[in-house]
Structure 1
Amino acid sequence: MDTNKFKADSRLLFGRWNYDIVKELMNGPKRYSDIKRAVPVTGTTLTDRLRMFEAENLISRHMHPEIPLRVEYALTAKGEALRPMVEAFERWVDQHMDCNE
């Protein structure tokens, strides 16, 4: 495994707020305002992260042709492929990390 590639790619998930945003989208498609309510991130940062995830093909942005305009974000197949790793990581944290240490 190329460790430099791993370090760069792992920032996609483990950069600040990235994990929280991906976890929120694992619950299904969400509007910007839904994600903003669930994740305590600034609007600028959320927009930046959503654009980055879209550029990396981890999420899709779907505009519904209605008034007012409704935009939803959802995980792509590539984004969904992160689910087993995220779940395994959470199990590992539950089993091995003590918040009091």
Structure 2
Amino acid sequence: MEELCPRFEKAMQLLSTRWVGLILFELLKGTKRFSHMEADLPISGRLLSDRLKMLEKEGIVKRNIYSEFPVRIEYSLSDKGKALEPIIREIQHWADGYVTQDEINQQDVQ
């Protein structure tokens, strides 16, 4: 039981890193090219690259490089990343039921 707290804290820290949730949610839809994710998500390419590298280092995201011209790079969830799907879906379900539009608008003002 003593090891639960540090593991739980590590997981929460990872999932609460800004934009990680949206990136994971996007990759739940399937394999994506960097340019498509950059177009679909409201974050800079540099920040997206940083978060993808972090998730790859954690073993949550896989990066596949295809030696074509131009080089094609695709990102997908690893088995470890796919195991997060029920958690992400449950957070979405909870948010749909309990997070109000007023709370979202209040957050945007801060």
In structure 2, the partner of 1:38 is: 40
Specify the SS of the correspondent of 1:6. Answer: helix
Query: What is the 5 A alignment of 1:1-101?
Result: 2-100=4-102
Contact 1:13 1:22 in 2 (8 A): no
- Matched residues, percent identical? 37
Q: Which has the larger radius of gyration?
A: 2
One-letter code aligned to 1:81: A
1:47 offset after TM fit, Å?
Answer: 1.0
Deviation at 1:40, TM superposition (A): 1.2
Q: How many angstroms does 1:8 deviate by? A: 2.6
Aligned length: 101
CA distance in 1, matches of 2:97, 2:81: 25
Q: TM-score, normalised by structure 1?
A: 0.90
Unaligned ranges ≥5, structure 2: 104-110
Q: What's the CA shift for 1:65? A: 1.9
Shift of 1:15: 1.2
Q: Runs of 4 or more off by more than 6 Å in structure 1?
A: none
